[in-house]
Amino acid sequence: MTASLLRWYEREARELPWRRTRDPWAILVSEVMLQQTQAARVVPYYERFLARFPDPAACAEAPVADVLRTWSGLGYNRRALALHRAAGVVAREGWPDDLASLPGVGPYTAAAVASFAFGAAVLAVDVNVRRVLARSGLEVEPTPQLNQALMELGATVCTARAPRCSACPLADGCDGPEEAAQGGPGRPRFEDTARYVRGRVVAALVAGEALPEVGPERLARALDGLERDGLIERSEGRIRLPGDTLG
């Protein structure tokens, strides 16, 4: 089954820029950006970010405000802050043996960078890979190419809601999806969430525009959270991005 999966990947793999490099910085940037974000949406932000910050030193030396401006529009701004902090560690000390010791780097991201940048024989298990393995029962000896193939299969064929089992190279011997449908109340509108307000605030500061009109209580909670997370600074009644000389 593994051989079938690898042959499928050679034919069907999407052309994504982070698959053409073994630079650990470029791979770390891609993995942080890809968290909860579709690959097609990440590509232009990835290319723009690396053009501005081609290595950890360039990112570490830049003010946080510049990093947030370059990241702006991708969402989940705390990821940019963690990436800036990780760049500082790598610029000062080099890449650690334990990649999970870097700020914002969890077990999956550490395994992905170890595999794709350093060739480590570790299985990088994200939500897509976990789903493929659970459904197929596949047992693997991990390699970088196999990790990529499992991720690609989970992202494009063995999807959570509408798997294309007829196109799957692991269909023989796979029982297919067995997840029960999830009931319960629906999700709130994104516009009603705290993340929406936080994103609007950061976007307004990046653009030099007025803060969003979302109601004083929602705005106050968002500002408190952003300040607590190190994504804004407040001084003498002024709000700005961290280290921003334009604020």
Is the pLDDT at 182 greater than 60? The verdict is no
Task: Give 222-229's long-range contacts (Cβ < 8 A, gap of 24+).
Answer: 222/194, 222/197, 222/198, 225/194, 225/198, 226/198, 226/201, 226/202, 229/78, 229/81
Q: What is the pLDDT of residue 17?
A: 97
Q: What is the pLDDT of residue 19?
A: 96
Render pLDDT for 149-175 as a digit per residue (tens, 0 to 9).
999 999 999 998 889 999 999 988 787
Model confidence at 216, in pLDDT bands (50, 70, 90)?
confident
Is the pLDDT at 230 greater than 70? The verdict is yes
Is the pLDDT at 25 greater than 60? The verdict is yes
Model confidence at 106, in pLDDT bands (50, 70, 90)?
very high
Q: Are 17 and 43 in contact (CB under 8 A)?
A: yes
For 15, phi then psi, to 5°, come to -85, 105
% of the chain surpassing 70 pLDDT = 95
Q: Which two tokens stand for residue 90?
A: 């790598």
Alpha carbon distances (Å) from 202 to 65, 77, 195, 212, 225: 10, 8, 11, 10, 12
CB atoms within 10 A of CB 33: 24
Model confidence at 183, in pLDDT bands (50, 70, 90)?
very low
Model confidence at 215, in pLDDT bands (50, 70, 90)?
confident
Q: What is the pLDDT of residue 68?
A: 94
Model confidence at 246, in pLDDT bands (50, 70, 90)?
low
Q: Which two tokens stand for residue 122?
A: 């570790």
Domain architecture of the chain: domains with CATH: 2-167 (1.10.340.30), 190-240 (no CATH)
Active-site residue list: 31
Least Cα distance to 28 among 56, 52, 64 occurs for 56
Q: Which two tokens stand for residue 247?
A: 């604020």
Q: Are 14 and 99 in contact (CB under 8 A)?
A: no
State the average pLDDT over residues 128-146: 92
DSSP per residue, 26-75: HHHHHHHHHTTS-HHHHHHHHHHHHHH--SHHHHHHS-HHHHHHHHTTSS
Is the pLDDT at 198 greater than 60? The verdict is yes
Render pLDDT for 26-65 as a digit per residue (tens, 0 to 9).
999 999 999 989 999 999 999 999 999 999 999 999 999 9
Top pLDDT among 168 and 182 is at 168
Q: What is the pLDDT of residue 53?
A: 98
Q: For all residues of the chain together, what is the average pLDDT?
A: 89
Least Cα distance to 99 among 76, 124, 77, 63 occurs for 124
Is the pLDDT at 7 greater than 90? The verdict is yes
Model confidence at 229, in pLDDT bands (50, 70, 90)?
confident
